[in-house]
Amino acid sequence: MTDINIYRPYLARIEKIIDETPDTKTFRLVFVDDEIRNNFSFQAGQFAQYSVFGEGESTFCIASSPTNEGYVECTFKRVGRVTKALSALQKGDVIGFRGPYGNTFPVEEWHGKNLLFIAGGIGLAPVRCVILTALEQRENFEDVTILYGARTEEDLVYKYELEEWDKREDINLIRTIDNDDKAIMWRGEVGYVPDILRKSSPSSENTIAIICGPPIMIKLTLPVLEELGFTPETIFTTLENRMKCGFGKCGRCNIGKYFVCKDGPVFTLAEINKLPPEF
């Protein structure tokens, strides 16, 4: 029997590049190997390792819907060595892909409930997969609210999808920016996500809240959710805590006895509250 090298990535070709913001891009990736492309599957919330050969790997969620056949998408911000190398690539270039890894959002358990998505900046990427999954099964959920904010209008990602969601009558989309000084005919709210959440006051009854974004945004938003009546068991988020290998071998992402790459990255607030103080 031939041993499988769990560290060896699949080869994936960049089929499409979308410039989301001046420093953020979305890649549409197609696996080079036909068998892998035809049989690959994942679930909402899982992540992968993306590599530029000679530069290293970076961890991002899989941002596309699990029902998309033949490709996956990832969105990343240019902040370090690997993401700078990724940003320099062109359509047709080949990168490495390892995954999928991690647990998932329990979307099927949310059937019959209201969904409240809260995201800030590039934090919309990890929940985009869940949003797309929910919209594909729209009949299984009650009210769907998306609250999304960024520093400026320019910093909003997935602007093309935001416009589509804004036109739908079965979605309540709330967009906000911190500062509208450079905005061009801005049609959304102006203010920080926690303040806009308090202003909109969505009902916590029979509602699941999914939140992702900068740590400070999450820190300031959680008390507002509690004010609105959300319990730790009904608040979900996804963590990226120094994940490297993807399957609990390197120990970089451990928090006490837990490994974010294996026990997460999806956690409820109730689960996070039980993690060691080092978190």
Kindly tell me if the per-residue pLDDT of 10 is higher than 80.
yes
- pLDDT band, very low/low/confident/very high, at 255 (cuts 50, 70, 90): confident
| Confidence at residue 58, expressed as pLDDT on a 0 to 100 scale | 92
d(CA 233, CA 241): 21
| Residue percentage of the chain with pLDDT more than 70 | 95
| Confidence at residue 241, expressed as pLDDT on a 0 to 100 scale | 63
Kindly tell me if the per-residue pLDDT of 119 is higher than 70.
yes
| Confidence at residue 4, expressed as pLDDT on a 0 to 100 scale | 64
Return the minimum-mean-pLDDT range out of 140-144, 148-152, 256-260: 256-260
CATH of region 10-101: 2.40.30.10
d(CA 108, CA 134): 9
The amino acid sitting at 225 is L
Where are the CATH 3.40.50.80 domain residues in the chain? 107-238
- C-beta of residue 25 within 8 angstroms of C-beta of residue 76: yes
Output phi, psi for 248, to 5 deg: 75, 25
Q: Specify the 3-state DSSP secondary structure of 120.
A: strand
Mean pLDDT value across the chain: 92
Please tell me what DSSP assigns to residue 256.
T
Kindly tell me if the per-residue pLDDT of 96 is higher than 90.
yes
- C-beta of residue 28 within 8 angstroms of C-beta of residue 16: yes
Q: Which helix (H) or strand (E) segment is 278 a member of?
A: none
| Confidence at residue 279, expressed as pLDDT on a 0 to 100 scale | 47
pTM exceeds 0.75 = yes
- pLDDT band, very low/low/confident/very high, at 54 (cuts 50, 70, 90): very high
| Confidence at residue 264, expressed as pLDDT on a 0 to 100 scale | 76
| Confidence at residue 203, expressed as pLDDT on a 0 to 100 scale | 97
Kindly tell me if the per-residue pLDDT of 180 is higher than 80.
no
Kindly tell me if the per-residue pLDDT of 15 is higher than 70.
yes
Measured between alpha carbons, how far is residue 35 from residues 31, 46, 275 in Å? 9, 21, 40
State the average pLDDT over residues 135-140. 97
Closest CA to 118 of 147, 97, 94, 81: 147
| Confidence at residue 253, expressed as pLDDT on a 0 to 100 scale | 72
- pLDDT band, very low/low/confident/very high, at 151 (cuts 50, 70, 90): very high
d(CA 170, CA 51): 38
| Confidence at residue 1, expressed as pLDDT on a 0 to 100 scale | 37
d(CA 144, CA 210): 11
Where are the CATH 2.40.30.10 domain residues in the chain? 10-101
Retrieve residue 178's tokens. 């911190």
d(CA 62, CA 48): 7
| Confidence at residue 278, expressed as pLDDT on a 0 to 100 scale | 56
d(CA 244, CA 190): 37
Q: Specify the 3-state DSSP secondary structure of 12.
A: strand
Retrieve residue 217's tokens. 């945004």
| Confidence at residue 152, expressed as pLDDT on a 0 to 100 scale | 93
Q: Which fold has domain 107-238?
A: Rossmann fold (3.40.50)
Kindly tell me if the per-residue pLDDT of 130 is higher than 90.
yes
